[in-house]
Structure formats: C-alpha cells, structure tokens
Amino acid sequence: MVSIINFEEDTLAGFHVQHYIDEAGLRAIVHEMEEKANGHDKVQLYFEFVNFGDWDSIQSFFDMLKNKFDSWNKISKYAIATDKDWVKRQSKLANFLSSTFEVKAFGIAEKEQALEWLRQPAEQVPTQGVAVLEAMPRHVVGIATLGNLSSADFSTINNLLEEQAQQNHDLRFYLEVLKPDGDTPDAMWEDLKHGVRYYSKFSKVAIAGHEEWLQRSAASGHVLATESNVRFFKLNERDTAIDWLR
C-alpha cells in the first residue's frame, strides 16, 4: 500500500510504503516523481518502507522503478527510511548499486535526519567495482560485486584480505554477486581461486546470487564447485549463508 508524503520543497518527492506495492501504487509513485521532475534539473526521493520484506525486495523495487521513471537521470539523492535495523548497515552497498546518485538508509525514527541529508548539496558518487559488506562476523570478509571481477577488483579484495590475515588465521569469505555478467557461478569460482592471493587460507567460502544466475551452470552442463568448504546460496538466503560461515 502506497501513500504520498507532501513536503514544502518542489523537488522532494515522498512516499510511505507498507507491506506491498501494487500496480496502482507504482503508477502513483511514478506520476508523483514525474510531477516533481517536470521543470526541475534535479529531484530528491524519500521512501518510508514499513513491513516491506528484505533488502532484496527494496532493491527489486528500485530496479523496477528505474524502468518506469523516464527522468531517472534527474535524481540526485534517494533516502530510504525503514523499520528494518539491518538496512542501515547496507548504506554503502546502496550507494554502490547506484552509480549516478547518492543513496542512504535511515531508521523510521530518523526521518528528520533523512530530510536534512536530502536538503544538503549532493556529492559526486565515486565509481567502484566492489563494495565491502558491513556487519559481518569478525572472521568473515564480505564483498559485493555487480558483475565479473576485474584485476582492479582482485587487487581491492587482496588488500582487504591482507589486513584480515594479520588478525585472523581462519579466513572465511562471502561474495554477493548482484548483477552478474556472462560468467556462470562455477566460472566465477575458478576466477576467485586464481585471482585471490589468500585462497588457500579460506576455511569456508559462500557465494550468493540470483536464482537465475545460479542455474546457469546446470543449464550449461557444468557442476558447481565440489570443494566441501564452498557453498552457493540464493540472495534471499543471505542470513543462512552467513550463519554457515560462522
């Protein structure tokens, strides 16, 4: 269910989303955003999500909205307010998922802080290939990537692992593949084995991705990694994967 939140600013569009978004709700959101974008170079978005599933649900809505809103390039900031405490720990990942504008997550009780942040001038969003996932167990290194890993990405991962290796002899690795390119999961695992300097020190490795991506290996006749310390998970099994890594 969607309701519009009215603000004084002509360029600030606000929405309260509870439980779900149907087609009528999506049309209302897009219409309000287009009204705000009409005649302005930049717009800011404020969304309150209450009882709206997990981070993957919010990201799926984000992707759907991108396909519906014609003035996507006019967005300068996007604030997410939610009753899910863990979403705030994904703020850096949210920025990573959008290369054109800033995204930041807040708690529902932090509405005023969110609005204050939206009213501040936008900063340039840096381009990056991988993002470090926060709030991982002490001995787990978590990385998210939008696609295939480049040599620069492996350099970033190796630098991070080098710091962790000095503190922990038991390294465990979590990789979240959010928007895979052409590689199958087993091919990405082979790249990891050859590109990560500390591969031999991993006691456990968990790789998470969309179900369609995980099925690519089976469709191509390949077998996912047979090593007992490597497991593949769907994105909505993130908590299960991290529990397995503990």
What structural domains does the chain harbor?
Answer: 2-119 (3.30.750), 130-245 (3.30.750)
Q: Give the strand order in the sheet containing 2-5.
A: 2-5, 12-18, 43-50, 75-82, 102-107
Q: How far, CA to CA in Å, does 236 sit from each of 23, 75, 121, 137?
A: 23, 28, 35, 18
Is this prediction's pTM over 0.85?
no
pLDDT recorded at residue 237 = 85
pLDDT at position 88: 58
- Distances 189 to 65, 101, 102, 232 between C-alpha atoms, Å: 32, 31, 31, 10
189 with 183: CB under 8 angstroms?
Answer: no
Residue 171 host element (H or E) = strand 171-177
pLDDT given for residue 76 in this prediction: 92
Q: How much is the pLDDT for 162? A: 85
- What is the pLDDT at residue 91? 56
Residue located via tokens 């405490």: 85
193: exposed, middle or buried (Cβ count in 10 Å: 0-12, 13-18, 19+): middle
Predicted local confidence at residue 221, as pLDDT: 45
- Report mean pLDDT in 10-residue bins for the chain, 246 residues: 95 93 92 94 93 72 84 90 68 60 86 95 70 80 82 86 82 83 75 83 87 68 60 85 91
pLDDT given for residue 87 in this prediction: 63
pLDDT of residue 211: 79
Please list, in sequence order, all residues whose beta carbon lies within 8 angstroms of the beta carbon of residue 198, skipping any fewer than 6 positions away. 158, 161, 162, 165, 171
The pLDDT assigned to 124 comes to: 64
